[in-house]
Amino acid sequence: MAYTDELEPLIALEQELRRKIALRIAEESGAPLGPSPSEDQLAAADEAIASWAEEGEDEQDMRAFRPVGPLQALLADHRTIFERILDIRDRRLS
């Protein structure tokens, strides 16, 4: 049985979510969509991801009281996966 690193599928999922976020932002802004996001679209996704991460827990908890759109759902999923990746890396360092 071949060794597989538990991080590999999580990192692949995180990158796929990043790509989906970039395409969703492009779609919502009315930009033409291709099969894969452009560098500018990926940069916009990175900004949205960073902004989502910087929001306080109080702001994110408010999602329970308002509808969550497709972009917010992707951002929340990305944050969950990213936190799992960080947790695994932290455990490896300790």
Q: Averaged in consecutive runs of 10 residues, what is the pLDDT profile of the chain (94 residues)?
A: 85 97 94 90 96 70 67 93 95 87
Max CA pair span of the chain: 47
**Which stretches within the chain are classed as H helix?**
7-28, 39-54, 57-61, 70-93
Q: Which of 10, 6, 4, 40 is nearest to 23 (CA)?
A: 40
pTM of the model: 0.84
Give residues with Cβ within 8 angstroms of 81, minimum separation 6: 10, 13, 14, 17
Q: What is the pLDDT of residue 94?
A: 81
Q: What is the pLDDT of residue 83?
A: 95
Structure tokens at 94: 């300790």
**Alpha carbon of residue 77 to chain centroid:** 6
